[in-house]
């Protein structure tokens, strides 16, 4: 799964570069919401993909003045950090 999350992140970055932020948001949300099937999936690459997706999604929401979405994202990702090693 690590490679799939990294691949999704790269696709989202490409979409963002092409000014297709709506599509990029879907990819970032998928990455953030992905639930690890087991502890073997938790590694540097998957954690970095989730972190980068959260930062990039927050940037889009901030840029578009979608502050309610930004607050929702913050509430959504806080539990992620307590579960990570």
The 10s digit of each residue's pLDDT in 32-73 is: 999 888 888 888 898 899 999 999 999 999 999 999 999 999
pLDDT of residue 30: 94
Largest CA distance in the chain: 38
Q: What is the distance between the alpha carbons of residues 25 and 50, in angstroms, rounded to a whole number?
A: 13
With vertex at residue 13, the alpha carbon angle to CA 9 and CA 16, rounded to the nearest 5 degrees, is: 140
Q: What is the distance between the alpha carbons of residues 48 and 44, in angstroms, rounded to a whole number?
A: 6
Residue 81 contacts by C-beta under 8 Å, 6 or more apart in sequence? none
Q: What is the distance between the alpha carbons of residues 19 and 41, in angstroms, rounded to a whole number?
A: 31
pLDDT of residue 62: 93
CA distances (Å), 53 to each of 15, 58, 73, in order? 13, 8, 11
pLDDT of residue 35: 87
Compute the mean pLDDT over every residue in the chain, rounded to the nearest whole number: 89
pLDDT of residue 83: 60
């Amino acid at each position: 799964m690590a490679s799939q999350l990294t691949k999704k992140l790269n696709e989202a970055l490409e979409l963002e570069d092409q000014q297709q932020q709506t599509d990029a948001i879907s990819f970032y949300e998928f990455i953030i919401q992905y639930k690890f099937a087991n502890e073997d999936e938790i590694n540097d690459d998957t954690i970095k993909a989730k972190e980068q997706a959260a930062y990039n999604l927050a940037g889009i929401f901030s840029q578009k003045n979608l502050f309610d979405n930004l607050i929702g994202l913050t509430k959504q990702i806080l539990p992620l950090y307590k579960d990570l090693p």
